[in-house]
Amino acid sequence: MGVGNFSEYDTPVRRRASALALLLGADAAVQFGSAAAALLIPRVGVWGVLVLRLTVSAALLLALCRPRLRGHTTGDWAVAGLLGLTLCAWNSCFYLAIRHMPLGPTVTLELLGPLALTLFGSRRAADPLWAVLALSGVFLLGKDGFSGLDPAGVAFALCAAVLWACYIQLSARTGQRFRRLDGLAVAMAVAAAASIPVSLVAGRVTLPEAGDAGLVVAVAVLSSVVPTASELIALRTIPPVVFSVLMSLAPPAAALAGLIVLGQSLTLLQWLAMALVVVACGGALLTPGPARGP
């Protein structure tokens, strides 16, 4: 069995539980990666973080996977290449959005992409209900930051939402067409190559100092390698429409991390919001019936 595949002897329930565990681990990694990025941004700038993150991630994945270049069709390479370009564009739009407005509203608007994928891409009657329930919870979590939003920030966040939905579909297709994490390694290399001209046009890129090497690797591993690899593996087990609902776990995870690590208090409304998201995710995972695949 290669890296990135669940055992053929697992039951569907165990495979879904494993997929959920992967996504929860990915969420946790992203939180720590964001903290590391916050330390790195003052030294190399936002666009420097983008280039370094994607470039180091590509180098690590290529070294780990050593993807086979033979035996793939033109369509396979096209899907992996599109995934890489989408990764670069999605991250770029997200960075542009948070330059214009707070993180909470940005993430909430960004989640419209995955949840729209559930609303319009599912054959199960209950999935739209779970999507609306999850969106309601996420909206309640970030409602205090929605006043006076910058139109440019909203536009970039909505672009990021569309690109996130595209990323989910392309990641699922890449996982089907390539063994292990080979397709992701190729896609990350494309994303890294595309990030250089994008970052040079969008803003100044500062090279890190030698002492920042560990921080750069931490950002790459926690913010890119672990989440994208975990998501690709999970999408081999659960359909994109279910995966999209599970993405709404990110804001509650951040709020809970703030409570546990930073001692930030939560209101009754915020607890209710997190409960709505948890119920929606549980419903999306456990509802019986067919769901449209990638």
The pLDDT value recorded for residue 117 is 80
Among 73-82, 109-118, 254-263, which stretch is predicted with the lowest mean pLDDT?
254-263
Instruction: Render pLDDT for 153-177 as a digit per residue (tens, 0 to 9).
Output: 889 989 999 999 999 999 999 999 9
Residue boundaries of the structural domains of the chain: 13-286
Amino acid 1: pLDDT: 39
Averaged pLDDT for residues 199-221: 83
Which two tokens mark 16?
Answer: 């879904």
Top-confidence residue, 190 or 288: 190
Residue that the structure tokens 């929860």 belong to = 24
pTM of the full predicted structure?
Answer: 0.80
d(CA 69, CA 82) in angstroms, rounded, equals 17
The Cα-based distances of 190 to 62, 84, 277, 289 in angstroms read 12, 5, 34, 37
